[in-house]
Amino acid sequence: MSNTSENPKPSSSSAKMTLKTSDNELFEVEEAVAMKFCTVKQYFEDEKDSDVAARGSTTVIPLPNVHSAVLATLISYGKKLPQSNAVADNHEEEETKKKERKKYEQGLLKNLMPGELLDLISAANYLDFKEGLEFFNQALADHIQNKSVEYVRKFFGIKNDYEPHEEEKYREEYAWAFEGVDED
């Protein structure tokens, strides 16, 4: 929680902030994007409350729970979202941006390793990045929704704490609803 500078800077919409990850990497991020991480925003606002004006690229916000690779993905996702301080687009531009975003999202998911998804969600949760959480949670739900129970356990690293007879009971109870499960 250290402020390295006490110079008040005039507010500007292209102000940048620096985020430091658990592996000591520094990321310079535009304020508009960084504000989507509510944890960062909260940190920022707390700083503003105090007398020290901590604006500008000289402040470094530590994120000890987030690894650089994960933060990189979250930042690039955040950039694609509609910016709250952007000039209101007219309808056409909005449409094109939406399409771009969809393409980006699909590309992102395709290249993602399933394990990385968990990390992304944890990080997004820590950062309180609502849109990211929404997106990645949905992606994860889509991914597991037709997988076998074993797969899900392995994926999340969960131990099966059922007795065999309990498990069998549950399996039979709803067998009627299942009509085919993805290959693991």
Partner 1 sequence: MQHQNQPHFSADAPTTPCAGPTVTFSSAAADHKRGKKRGSYNCGRCGLPKKGHNCHTSITTTTTTDTTTATTTSSPIINTPTSRADSSASLSSTRPPPPRQPYTHFRRALSFDDDVRAGFPEPEPEVEEEEQEEEDFGYPSMDPEPGALPASCLWEILRRLPPVGLLSAARVSKSWRETSKRLWKAAEELRLRVPARAQVGFVGSVLQKCPGLVRLSLRMESDLDATMLACIAFSCPNLEFMEILKSDTAINRINGDELGRFVADKRCLKSLKMEGCSNLGGFVLCSSSLSTLWLSDLYSLSKMVFNCPNLKEISLEFYRQENDSTDLTTMVDGLGRNCLRLQNIHIASVRLSHSVVLALTAANLRGLRMLSLVLGSEITDASVAAIASSYPNLELLDLSGSSISDSGIGMICNVFPETLSRLLLALCPNVTSSGIQFATAQLPLLELMDCGMTICDPNSQNGIPDESSDWELRNTANHLIYQKLIIKHGRLKKLSLWGCSGLDALYLNCPELNDLNLNSCKNLHPERLLLQCSKLESVHASGCQELLIGAVESQVSNDFPAVENVLPCKRLADGSKRVRVPHFLSAQSCDDDKKRRRVERRHCNVLVS
**Least gap, CB of 158 to partner 1 (angstroms):** 5
Closer residue to partner 1 in complex, CB, 9/169? 169
CB–CB of 20/75 below 8 Å? Answer: no
Q: Which residues lie near partner 1 (CB under 8 A)?
A: 90-92, 95, 118, 121-122, 125, 130, 133-134, 137-142, 144-146, 149, 152-153, 156-162, 167, 170-171, 173-174, 176-182
In the complex, what is the shortest distance from the CB of residue 69 to partner 1, in angstroms, rounded to a whole number?
Answer: 17
Name the residue nearer to partner 1 (CB basis): 83 or 125.
125
Identity of the residue, 47 or 105, whose beta carbon is nearer to partner 1 in the bound complex: 105
Residue 122 CB, nearest approach to partner 1 (Å): 7
Cα atoms in the 13 Å half-sphere on the side-chain side of 128: 7
Q: Do the beta carbons of residue 74 and residue 124 sit within 8 Å?
A: yes
Q: Minimal distance in Å, beta carbon 38 to partner 1?
A: 14
Which residues lie closer than 8 Å to 32 by C-beta, 6 or more apart? 13, 83, 84, 85, 86
Tell me which residue of 117, 116, 114, 3 sits closest to 61, measured CA to CA. Answer: 3
Give the length of the chain: 184
Please report how close the Cβ of residue 168 comes to partner 1 at its closest, in angstroms.
10
Q: What are phi and psi of 127, to 5 degrees?
A: -80, -10
Judged by CB, which is closer to partner 1: 28, or 167? 167
> Alpha-carbon distance 162 to 165, whole Å?
8
Residue closer to partner 1, measured from CB, 49 or 161: 161
Q: Of the candidates 184, 180, 171, which has an alpha carbon nearest to the alpha carbon of residue 144? A: 184
